[in-house]
Amino acid sequence: MVMKNINIEIPKGHEIDIKNSNLEEGSIVFQKKEIKLPTTNKECIEFAPDISYSISNFIESVKECDEKLNFGNKYVMSTKELAEAFLALIQLVKFRDIWNDGWKPNYGNNITSGWIIANDNNKITWFTEYTISHVLTFQTQELVIKFLKTFKDLIEIAKPLL
């Protein structure tokens, strides 16, 4: 019996499903690769794009500004709550982008554009959306629920901006 070699390119984000493939019959099935989604800033490093952008190398924590002149600085907020909310939202957007794995919502097509996390009368909630853009939008209901549970504390801090 002559063996033939065939090169197959595995689709990005997939792997061979050994259980459902039958190499003797020449049947190969792919499955989406299970990856551990990051839940800390350090874990985001392996997902980092070749080029990224920093708002400021000096913004690491929220601190009180004594001088009124500092309010003219574009990195200064009017309240501590808003400053902390912006820092939390920056982190949440980074995690959102990684967890969505390149998916972006398509608003206005009368098909579910995504599952969102929103502030509804000072209560964090999630629901599906068709036409309105929201900063924390996810491809699936399962993903939005998992994200909400994983980043509950950070979302509570960012709540004034959601």
3-state SS, 57-105, equals CCCCCCCCCCCHHHHHCCCCCCCHHHHHHHHHHHHHHHHHHHHHCCCCC
Query: Is 90 exceeded by the pLDDT of residue 153?
Result: yes
Mean pLDDT of 71-92: 81
* Residue 50, domain member (yes or no): no
* Residue 27, domain member (yes or no): no
What local confidence, expressed as pLDDT, does residue 45 receive?
80
Mean pLDDT computed over every residue of the chain: 80
Give pTM, 2 decimals: 0.67
Query: Is 70 exceeded by the pLDDT of residue 62?
Result: no
* Residue 112, domain member (yes or no): yes
Query: Is 80 exceeded by the pLDDT of residue 67?
Result: no
Q: In total, how many domains does the chain have?
A: 1
Under 8 Å between Cβ of 116 and 96: no
Question: Which distant-in-sequence residues (6+ apart) come within 8 Å of 92 by Cβ?
Answer: 135, 136, 151, 154, 155, 158
Query: pLDDT, tens digit, for every residue of 25-54?
Result: 878 888 888 778 888 888 888 887 777 666
Query: pLDDT, tens digit, for every residue of 108-148?
Result: 665 556 777 888 888 888 777 666 668 888 888 899 999 99
* Residue 4, domain member (yes or no): no
What local confidence, expressed as pLDDT, does residue 89 receive?
93
Residue range(s) defining the domain that contains residue 105: 36-45+74-162
* Residue 125, domain member (yes or no): yes
What local confidence, expressed as pLDDT, does residue 73 receive?
65
* Residue 159, domain member (yes or no): yes
Query: Is 60 exceeded by the pLDDT of residue 58?
Result: no
* Residue 52, domain member (yes or no): no
Under 8 Å between Cβ of 113 and 106: yes
* Residue 55, domain member (yes or no): no
